Structure 1
Amino acid sequence: EEEKLGSVGALAWLIDSLKLDDDLLVIGGDNLLLFDLSAFVAAFHGETLVALYDLGDPAVARRRYGVAVVDGDRVVEFQEKPDEPRSALASTACYLFPRRVLPYFREFLGQAQAGRDAPGYFLSWLLSREPIRAFPFREGWFDIGGREAYIAANLHFTGGEPWIHPQARVEGSRIERSVVLGPCTVRDSHLVECVVDEGAELVGVELRGALVGRGSHLRGG
């Protein structure tokens, strides 16, 4: 695209291009959600529904996550990465919109001066026009668009144990709480809480909390 549309703009483009006229389920591609999606769909009763992960402490969301303030199952306010969060319920980029809401995407873009790439701004705008319901959950959520969360998600599914692909070659190395995808090569190295993608070659290195990209070649001095 010559000009980035932003996430809200991209949804408006999709709705217009496909001439969508039905309820719309939207899930952010960099979100790993561990709740039962069928339960989310079953909780939809014709009003916009938003999946909200309970962080346990509002301070965790400070300047990091958009949060929703709720009254029962009704959302009363959205805060986009606030300095002073009023809620521990983080918006997870999982939404179900009723068909009547779809024209609002284009209307929002015609009025908004900012927020085209932050769905939280659209939801705040929509809240003055439509009721929004909350679907809180605690089963687990990882925003894997960032390195730390991507590594944490991998370690969650391995139970913190090292996982090495059968085609990976690991020689003379210590692999602790890490995931090694294959085929790749790790020789004379020490890895702690790392993810090594396929095609990588690591020789004589010590890494902690590293995400080693596909085809990377690292050699120690």
Structure 2
Amino acid sequence: MKKRVIAMVLVGGRGSRLENITKKTAKPAVAFAGKYKLIDFVLSNLSNSNIDTAGIITQYEPHELMSYIGHGSTWDLDINDGGISFLTPYTSMDGDLWQKGTAHAIKQHFRYIDQYQADYVLILSGDHIYKMNYTQMIEDHIAVDADVTIGAFHASKNASRFGIITATNDGWVTNFEEKPDHPKSNLASMGIYVFKREVLRQLLAENEQENVDFGHDIIPLAIHKNKRIHVYRFNGYFRDVGTINSLFKANMELIDNPQLLKLHEYVDSPVYTKSSNLPPHHIGKQSIIHNTLISDGCLILGDIYHSVLSSSIVVEDGALIRDCIIYEHVHIGTGSVLKNVIILDHTRIPPYTRIECDKVKVIDEDYLKQEGYQHE
């Protein structure tokens, strides 16, 4: 069945700067705000934009993510003529076709794009936090007859972490530098692209490098080939949580200002997530809870300040938690004091453990053993 637009969602990167958080899972499966996973945002955006066909390109540690997404029913993407398709590395007569870059991953699965005879290809990363109607970007792309459109935002800080765009007043891109040491502007790529299908095919075919990436290779090549490259400026909330500090900060700022992401606005742009069948959280009579997000299935008997708790967490009496992110199935023993830490899934904090950090630290069972914390 022919589709006007299909999406290709890149979820195969390791996210190595997140260290142990992505040791056993793909970055898009990382939890956010207690209730969500990063992949929820891009899939919800697709659903809210009425884009019903998406190829999910996996590679690194895909099992948890694939199980979580399933057929896509949570995001209303489980349709017969399209829906969700997982596109994995495979073996062919040419050998093992491992993906060696973002653009190389698209090239390996171009037959999927051709299968739907798509006029336009929307390329997305599955690990960013934002709410966006892609329809507006696509219509802008069509209206100006662009070959390529790049989604962009104004990076107020750390612009050198992004691809930096130079554009004319009417939005035509004249230069693009991937993660420059000295950025010439603060107009930063979101890693969101709309391509005419045949333009994308041509650019992928003409690039002779193996480790092909959109920022490093394809966009500069498109500029060199004088393609019509337009920028779509996005003025909403956008976060790339590729480091431990940026992930921690994004969670904390959501506590401080829920209106940044407007997760409680269900009508126009809801963020869907796959919910577990768990009871409501329970807070003890003597507990003090202040400015904290608590998910279902938690039993809270201690005191918690300015923190984010995922589901099925036990906090025993006398425990004190401040400025922390705690993932699922964590047990925190009585009398423990925790500050400025991210505690990974299935970690048991022994009673009377004290971990107070000036810089954010990731805690798991291996860390506890290494540091000599003993379970009773």
* Counterpart amino acid of residue 206 in structure 1: L
The Cα of 1:190 is off from its aligned counterpart by 3.5
Contact 1:80–1:121 (CA under 8 A) maintained in structure 2: no
Q: After TM superposition, what 4+ stretches of structure 1 lie above 6 angstroms from structure 2?
A: none
Q: Which residue of 2 aligns with 1:126?
A: 222
Q: How does 1:4-153 map to 2 (within 5 A)?
A: 4-19=99-114, 21-22=117-118, 23-45=120-142, 46-47=145-146, 48-56=148-156, 60-62=158-160, 64-72=161-169, 73-109=171-207, 111-112=208-209, 116-117=212-213, 119-129=215-225, 130-153=227-250
Measured against aligned partners, the alpha-carbon deviations of 1:50-106 in whole angstroms (never above 9, x if no partner) come to 11111236xx313x2221111120111111111110010111111111122121353
C-alpha separation in 2, matches of 1:120 and 1:190? 46
* Counterpart amino acid of residue 339 in structure 2: L
Gaps of 5+ in 2: 1-88, 90-95, 258-290, 354-372
Larger Rg: 2
C-alpha separation in 2, matches of 1:65 and 1:93? 9
Contact 2:129–2:240 (CA under 8 A) maintained in structure 1: yes
Q: Which residue of 2 aligns with 1:191?
A: 321
* Counterpart amino acid of residue 51 in structure 1: G
* Counterpart amino acid of residue 180 in structure 1: L
Measured against aligned partners, the alpha-carbon deviations of 1:88-137 in whole angstroms (never above 9, x if no partner) come to 0111111111122121353244x2365x2453432111112212100112
Gaps of 5+ in 1: none
CA RMSD of superposed structures (Å): 2.3
Contact 1:32–1:142 (CA under 8 A) maintained in structure 2: yes
Q: Secondary structure at the match of 2:109?
A: helix
Normalising by structure 1, report the TM-score.
0.84
Contact 2:177–2:215 (CA under 8 A) maintained in structure 1: no
After the TM superposition, which of the residue ranges 177-186 and 138-147 deviates more from structure 2?
Answer: 138-147
The Cα of 1:144 is off from its aligned counterpart by 2.7
Q: Secondary structure at the match of 2:135?
A: helix
* Counterpart amino acid of residue 349 in structure 2: L
C-alpha separation in 1, matches of 2:343 and 2:255? 18
Of 195, 204, 213, 2:344 maps to 213
Q: Secondary structure at the match of 2:167?
A: strand
Larger RCO: 1 or 2 (CA < 8 Å, sep 6+): 1
Change (3 A) 1:176 1:122: farther
Q: Which residue of 2 aligns with 1:179?
A: 308
The Cα of 1:26 is off from its aligned counterpart by 1.0
C-alpha separation in 2, matches of 1:182 and 1:126? 46
Contact 1:9–1:105 (CA under 8 A) maintained in structure 2: no
